């Protein structure tokens, strides 16, 4: 007996080890694919930028510089057609759709989203739409992970984790920020921190980063920090007061950004015109904004992702008036692009808006207090993190991603302080982030907090009944019906020679008129969801999936045919209520 038990335990350990290796291998595959997608998407944007502004622009050169206003409108035509006819979920900023898939659909995302999102977003951004790369790459990476999971028929929980792996891989491959990519997936997509989910997400992020760096090096592109910034030092402890004020300003600007985006979306929703036409109208408005800026500065600072403009700010090549104006113009341009149905992310514009806010604020402080303030670039870097922390409430992601993009650890203290202040202020006025608000407007409420799921703290052994009443296969259904009426129980395990062979419940025969000639064998369910004593209630519920199951047999971990307990949905609800009231 002891030898048999040892063999069974070794088999179980071997099975667990195989599953872990298999899943982590899938995480590696997902990360590698996301690395390729991230670089491919980057160059797809470059390609469409050249096509629209060099190709089509050369044909419209006679209307220089006024043709600038028309280019985003032309791009909007193609974006509208793609999203309307092929994948409506590909419009907008992408992350809410992934959050919705994880929360309500077991992580299932249509495979076609990868192609449609890549085309729609690259056309939108390449033609001058004011949006970022992170939303599209998160959606494409997540769809990749989801597709792999669906092809292999993984469980809903495994699918969600692989979706998070895709999101992390996409962010890491795009921004060269592997740590922040992991935090992004945990804070915004999966909203949990568990070793079994953290490990594959980290693995995916690592391999996506390695893949993208390798590809960029082969293409002759340096893979250091996204932004080169001057050295920073806190001149005096009193300077922290200035960062406190910057955190407050960032929270106000973040709130304005979120509200402007959805008010403009409401405006376009009210327009009684075909949906596929709206991105073109939005593109024309964005083009006009870009044209006005071009006339005054010689560059279209609000077009595209905007990293080139941030680099100009860091290089001391923008004057105060332009920097101040770009805060509001970028908010307006991004809101019009996405509110009209364009495709792109809100993350990069958040960094842009924050950089301009911090830059303008730092310039003002330098003119007023030159002896005690740092270079205005320091305030621009802090502003980047603070505005994104405000709109997303992903504080850890905001802090780490800006650090990884700049490589300046010395600025981490004011960065943390301003980010917390901004996020707190935003939360005081809005219970939703810029991501979850989109879902709430559809009637979908996503809890943004990584709170403890009580179902993960209650084990099967805590709720199961050990004194189990069982029935035999040869019991007449009429006798079973009387037994249910006598005991008040609506379901029983079915055993044969002491082994579990099925479950029979009232619903198995309630619609059958003549039960006189029926036996339990004729109506029982043999495809049983078995629970183990060490499992949590969440794990059992996830195993049940979408099946309408209300009775759960508990079996010996070393012998899945030996019944040791039984519990029902009612037992789950009572255990949850007790735990909640503790």
Q: Which residues of 551-569 are buried (b: 16+ CB within 10 A; e: fewer)?
A: bbbbbeeeeeeebbbbbbe
CATH of 18-218, one of 1.10.3080.10, 3.30.70.20, 1.10.287.610, 2.40.50.100: 1.10.3080.10
Distance CA 381, CA 411 (A): 8
* Encoded tokens for 309: 């403009």
Both tokens of residue 384?
């980047």
Residue tagged 């700049």 (tokens): 406
Residue 173 tokens read as 């491959």
Query: What are 523's two structure tokens?
Result: 């109506």
In the chain, CATH 3.10.580.10 sits at 454-581
- The sign of the CA dihedral 432, 436, 441, 445 is negative
DSSP annotation of 68 = G
pLDDT tens string 211-232: 999 998 888 877 655 666 666 6
* Residue 489 to residue 97: CA distance in whole angstroms: 42
Q: Which helix (H) or strand (E) holds 495?
A: strand 491-496
> CA–CA separation, 67 vs 540, rounded Å?
60
> Which CATH class, in words, describes the domain spanning 454-581?
alpha beta
Length of the chain: 582
Per-residue tens of pLDDT for the chain, all 582 residues: 444 456 556 666 556 556 778 888 999 999 999 999 999 998 999 999 999 988 887 888 888 888 899 999 999 999 999 888 887 777 777 788 888 888 777 788 888 878 888 899 999 999 999 998 888 888 899 999 999 999 988 888 888 899 999 999 999 988 888 888 898 888 888 877 777 788 999 999 999 999 999 998 888 877 655 666 666 666 777 788 999 999 999 999 999 999 999 999 999 989 889 888 999 999 999 999 999 999 999 899 999 888 889 999 988 899 999 999 999 999 999 999 999 988 888 888 999 999 999 999 999 998 888 877 878 888 999 999 999 999 988 888 888 887 777 776 677 888 889 999 999 999 999 888 888 888 787 777 666 555 556 677 788 888 999 888 899 998 998 888 889 888 888 889 999 888 899 999 888 887 777 778 888 888 888 888 889 998 888 888 888 876 778 889 999 888 888 899 999 888 888 887 777 665
Query: What is the pTM assigned to this prediction?
Result: 0.76
Contact between residue 425 and residue 507 where contact means Cβ atoms under 8 Å apart: no
* Residue 459 backbone dihedrals phi, psi, to 5 degrees: -95, 155
- Return the CATH fold of 237-440: Clc chloride channel (1.10.3080)
Cβ neighbours around 388 below 10 Å, total: 31
CATH 1.10.3080.10 segments of the chain: 18-218, 237-440
């Amino acid at each position: 007996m002891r030898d048999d038990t040892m063999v069974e335990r070794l088999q179980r350990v071997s099975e667990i080890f195989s599953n872990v290796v298999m899943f982590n291998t899938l995480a590696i595959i997902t990360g590698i694919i996301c690395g390729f997608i991230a670089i491919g998407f980057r160059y797809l944007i470059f390609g469409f930028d050249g096509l629209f502004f060099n190709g089509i622009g050369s044909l419209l050169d006679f209307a220089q510089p006024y043709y600038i206003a028309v280019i985003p409108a032309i791009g909007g035509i193609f974006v509208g057609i793609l999203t309307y006819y092929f994948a409506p979920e590909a419009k907008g900023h992408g992350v809410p759709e992934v959050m919705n898939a994880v929360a309500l659909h077991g992580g299932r995302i249509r495979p076609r989203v990868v192609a449609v999102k890549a085309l729609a977003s690259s056309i939108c951004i390449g033609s001058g739409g004011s949006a970022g790369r992170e939303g599209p790459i998160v959606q494409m990476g997540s769809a990749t992970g989801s597709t792999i999971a669906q092809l292999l028929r993984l469980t809903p929980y495994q699918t969600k984790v692989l979706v998070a792996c895709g999101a992390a891989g996409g962010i890491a491959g795009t921004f060269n920020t592997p740590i922040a990519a992991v935090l992004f997936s945990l804070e915004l997509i999966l909203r949990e921190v568990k070793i079994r989910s953290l490990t594959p997400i980290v693995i995916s992020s690592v391999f996506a980063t390695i893949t993208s760096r390798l590809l960029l090096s082969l293409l002759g592109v340096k893979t250091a920090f996204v932004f080169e910034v001057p050295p920073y030092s806190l001149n005096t402890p009193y300077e922290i007061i200035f960062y406190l004020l910057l955190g407050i300003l960032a929270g106000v600007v973040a709130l304005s950004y979120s509200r402007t985006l959805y008010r403009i979306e409401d405006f376009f929703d009210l327009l009684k015109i075909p949906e596929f036409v709206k991105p073109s109208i939005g593109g024309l408005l964005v083009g006009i904004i870009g044209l006005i800026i071009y006339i005054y500065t010689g560059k279209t600072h609000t077009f595209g992702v905007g990293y080139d403009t941030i680099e100009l700010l860091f290089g001391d090549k923008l004057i105060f008036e332009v920097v101040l104006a770009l805060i509001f113009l970028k908010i307006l341009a991004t809101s019009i692009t996405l509110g009209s149905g364009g495709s792109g992310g809100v993350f990069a514009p958040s960094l842009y808006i924050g950089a301009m806010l911090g830059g303008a604020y730092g310039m003002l402080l330098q003119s007023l207090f030159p002896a005690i303030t740092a270079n205005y670039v320091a305030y621009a870097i802090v502003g980047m993190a603070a505005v994104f922390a405000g709109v997303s409430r992903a504080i850890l992601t905001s802090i780490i991603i800006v650090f990884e993009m700049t490589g300046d650890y010395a600025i981490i203290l004011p960065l943390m302080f301003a980010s917390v202040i901004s996020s707190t202020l935003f939360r005081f006025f809005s219970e939703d982030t810029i991501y979850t608000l989109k879902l709430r407007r559809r009637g979908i409420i996503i809890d943004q907090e990584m709170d403890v799921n009580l179902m993960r703290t209650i084990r099967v052994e805590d709720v199961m009944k050990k004194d189990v009443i069982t029935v035999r296969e040869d019991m007449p259904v009429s006798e079973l019906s009387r037994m249910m009426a006598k005991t008040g129980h609506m379901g029983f395990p079915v055993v044969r020679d002491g082994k579990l062979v099925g479950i029979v419940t009232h619903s198995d025969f309630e619609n059958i008129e003549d039960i006189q000639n029926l036996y339990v064998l004729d109506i029982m369910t043999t495809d049983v969801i078995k629970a183990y004593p060490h499992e949590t209630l969440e794990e059992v519920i996830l195993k049940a999936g979408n099946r309408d199951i209300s009775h759960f047999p508990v079996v010996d971990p070393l012998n899945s045919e030996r019944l040791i307990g039984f519990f029902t949905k009612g037992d789950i609800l009572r255990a949850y209520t007790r735990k909640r009231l503790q």
